[in-house]
Amino acid sequence: MSDTTQFRVLDFDCPSCASTVERALSNVAGVQHVEVHYATGRVEIEYDDSVADPDAFVQTIESQGYTPQTA
């Protein structure tokens, strides 16, 4: 089943950083659609919940050097 989750990243410091996080998230297994908005810091992920694990999203964002908050 497809599920959607949201995070908020308040410390994006450049628009290209947001695109990099978007690319990285879309490479996580089970992710169907990702939108990362630089201006609002909103991250929206649509994923297959039988494959993807939301914890992996947090780790991916953190590994890029940003702090996701649940929103």
Partner 1 sequence: MNKQSITQYYRKHRKAIVTATSGLLYGGGWSLGYLTSFEMASAAILVLATIVGGYDIAKTAYHEVTNRTLGIKTLVTLAAIGAIVIGEYWEAAAVVFLFSLGSYLEGRTMRKTRTALQELLEMTPDTATVRHDGELQEVPAREVEESEVVVVKPGGKIPVDGDVIDGESAVNQAPVTGESAPVHKADGDEVYAGTVNQEGALEIRTTGAGSDTTLERIIRRVEEAQEAQSPTESLIDRFAKYYTPAVIVLAIGAYAVTQNAILSLTLLVIGCPGALVIGPPVSIVSAIGNAARSGVLMKGGEHLERAGKIDLVAFDKTGTLTKGETTVADVEGFGVADDEVLSLAATAEKKSEHHLADAIVDAARERPTAATDGGTTVARADDTDAGRRSVPDPDDFDVVAGKGVIGHTDGQEVVVGNRALLADRGIDIPSRVADYVREREGRGETVVHVVRDGDIVGAIALRDELRETAPSVVAALQDAGIETVMLTGDNKRTAAAVAEEVGIDEYRAELLPEDKQTVIEGYQADGHVVAMVGDGINDAPSLATADVGIAMGAAGTDTAIETADMALMADDLERIPYAVKLSKATRWNVLENVGLAVLTVTVLLAGVLTSYVTLAAGMLVHEASVLLVILNGMRLLRY
Which of 2, 11, 33, 48 touches partner 1 (CB under 8 A)? 11
Does residue number 3 form part of the binding site for partner 1 (CB under 8 A)?
Answer: no
Percent composition of the chain: helix, strand, coil (DSSP 3-state, to 5): 30, 35, 35
Does residue number 4 form part of the binding site for partner 1 (CB under 8 A)?
Answer: no
- 71 vs 51: CA distance, rounded Å: 22
- 68 vs 24: CA distance, rounded Å: 14
Which of 2, 4, 13, 33 touches partner 1 (CB under 8 A)? 13
| Residue ranges that bind partner 1, judged by CB under 8 A | 8, 10-17, 19-20, 23-24, 27, 35, 37-42, 63-65
